[in-house]
Amino acid sequence: MAWSRDGKLRIRTSIAASVACLGILISLVASWASAPLPAAAAVPTVVSIEWHDGNADQVGVVPILDARSMHATFLVNTRPILAGDSSKLSVTELQTIASHGNEIGGHTLDHVNVQPLPTAEARDQVCTDRNNLLDMGLQPTTFAYPFASFDAGSEDVAHYCNYNDASATAGLTLKGTAANTIPPADAYAIRTAPAIKKSTKLRTIEQYVLNAEAFAQANGSAWLVLVFHHLCDAHCGPYVISAAKFGAFLDFLQSEAANGVTVETVAGVMDGAVKGMCDPVSGAGCDTTPR
């Protein structure tokens, strides 16, 4: 069949247009294929910072926290505080720490091992300590077992004395369980990483956080609790961290915010109402419901 000059021209024009359209389509597909996928939403990893024993040097923790708009949980023994022990925080200092948005909780009257005590003595140590904090105008909802020593009976005592939760120093490791879930499996057996020592390297503390982030990815959430005792740059025993190292760690936590890391008090995570006083002898005001 013979084609006219005009017909051939129209066919060539149509072919050229089709090729051009095909080129545009290929270009669009290539651009879609190379475009980055939307970033996955960060899974929440909560870090709580506990300071134990009410040591006097802990007053220096507050400005370090304030500078980064962070808060911590301070768990104290009230008998030496009320006795005016100069190595411990004063009542006024506790009230000031609380006024900066930090949590104050209990740690027994005398930092004793609750687990082997008779029930009446254990209740006195835990309940009276908490009553003292209420008398100071504080709002204690969190308890920490001294020496990380507890059992089901110890948990019953913490619950009876009107605490909403309790933690034990140990249970989270770098090579094992990295974090608690939110909420924790047992509100009266919240586990923490081993207490931070002077010999604990900054990168080790940071690794606890990174491992908790991985735990969050696998479990939907993670709650890491870290325990400190002394803020000191000199000779204050083995359980000490310098102000510079503590500040550097908080800076690291801030840098991990984009990965879902936040810093909250224990009460902030557990979010329970503050209960009233409990008379450990008569049981008046105490929580006698099953935990």
> CA–CA distance from 80 to each of 106, 119, 127, 257, 261 (Å)?
13, 22, 16, 38, 36
102-107: average pLDDT: 98
* Reported confidence tier of residue 42, pLDDT bands at 50, 70, 90: confident
Burial 13-50 (b: 16+ CB within 10 A, else e): eeeeeeeeeeeeeeeeeeeeeeeeeeeeeebbbbbbbb
The backbone torsions φ and ψ at residue 186, rounded to the nearest 5 degrees and listed phi first, read -140, 115
29, pLDDT greater than 50: no
238-245: average pLDDT: 98
Per residue in 170-191, pLDDT (tens digit) is: 999 999 999 999 999 999 999 9
Among the ranges given (27-36, 51-60, 189-198, 208-217), the one the predictor scored with the smallest mean pLDDT: 27-36
Domain ranges within the chain, ordered by starting residue: 45-270
Per residue in 194-230, pLDDT (tens digit) is: 999 999 999 999 999 999 999 999 999 999 999 999 9
The pTM score is 0.86
258-285: average pLDDT: 97
Q: Which carries the bigger pLDDT value, residue 77 or residue 23?
A: 77
Peptide bond just before 194 cis, omega within 30 deg: no
9, pLDDT greater than 50: no
**What is the rounded distance in angstroms from the CA atom of residue 218 to the CA atom of residue 43?**
9
* Reported confidence tier of residue 50, pLDDT bands at 50, 70, 90: very high
pLDDT of residue 235: 84
Angle 51-55-56 (CA atoms, 0-180°, nearest 5)? 125
The backbone torsions φ and ψ at residue 43, rounded to the nearest 5 degrees and listed phi first, read -90, 135
30, pLDDT greater than 80: no
24, pLDDT greater than 70: no
39, pLDDT greater than 60: no
**What is the rounded distance in angstroms from the CA atom of residue 237 to the CA atom of residue 234?**
9
Q: Which carries the bigger pLDDT value, residue 40 or residue 263?
A: 263
pLDDT of residue 7: 44
Q: Which carries the bigger pLDDT value, residue 231 or residue 27?
A: 231
Q: In the CATH scheme, what is the code of domain 45-270? A: 3.20.20.370
Per residue in 272-282, pLDDT (tens digit) is: 999 999 999 99
pLDDT of residue 41: 65
